[in-house]
Structure 1
Amino acid sequence: MKKTLEKINELVERNIVQAYAIGGGMGQFYYIEPSVTYDLVIIINFATEGSRLAPLQSIYKWAEKNSYESVEEHIIIEGIPVQFLPAYNNLVVEALQNAKEIKLYDVKTFILEPEYLMAIMLQTNRPKDRERLLRFFEEAKFSVEKFNAIIKKFNLIKEYKIFREKYYE
């Protein structure tokens, strides 16, 4: 993982990616007990403008130049399947802008804050996200006030109410 994170930082140094943060299942590991996940999800903003997905070509060219194999939507970087996801809506853009800098394996990296991860899980509402969200409420240290402000700002109050009714009441 250390070498993978170093290579992801290289994308920023080379101005291929403007900013990134760890999200998805690996993002949860920083806050709650691990569960099964296949890949490292990296949320990104690109250094160049243009079509939303076109800048991914730069990442794939970098990967090819560095002999990293592409398998479906993943690039295998130092043995870790990495999925690069452009910040795809306003919630994810704001989550990326507020990512916190941490050290993992003595490497500087960035991770989405727990309140944003939780709001994204609520928004995507996949079965695995609902399970993770339940675990966040039980295990993670997070600001209830911040979480409530985020779900209010991004119109997720109704989804949160449905989630609570289904799983807590």
Structure 2
Amino acid sequence: MARYAMVIDTRKCSGCQSCTVACRVNNELPIDMIYNPVTTHGPIGKFPHVRMVHLPLLCMHCGNSPCVDACPTGASQQREDGIVWVEESKCVGCKTCIMVCPYGARVTNAKKGTVQKCNFCKDERVDQGKVPWCVQTCHQKARVFGDIEDKDSEVYRLVNTTKTTGRLLEELDTEPFVYYLY
């Protein structure tokens, strides 16, 4: 069984927001919902050596997911391949998962009365052997998606051979499966 992960190279990300737009369009999200915003930090440095850092954010598909553990109805679930998702028919919109997610990766759909989040495009992309829309549309090739347990995969290579790899809030022991290259 695969264990899916994403690697985001912040050195390549230009902050173009193509990933955010592709996600919003293909998931038919309302205008007030974003699953994967790109934050921009900077300028950093002193002239003439100034730069901006773009940090794409999304659900970390944690190995130790506090949202799954906290969900009182079982709507927040995790597949064997690591993808964390919300079963809409079970979600009562209590927002417990929003409160326990340290990454701010869940959003309320006020119209439906449910909580939604990135699911790596599991049904329409990953289960069809394709990469998520945010990866597909990234012009800079800053996002890489794949099986982190497959030693021949690009994700495995990047995580295990790059010295500047990190994960957000690792100290919380959520075991996030989104890695960043700095």
TM-score band w.r.t. shorter chain: under 0.3
TM-score (normalizing by structure 1): 0.25
**Bigger relative contact order, structure 1 or 2 (CA pairs below 8 A, ≥6 apart):** 2
Higher helix share: 1
**What is the TM-score with the length of structure 2 in the denominator?**
0.24
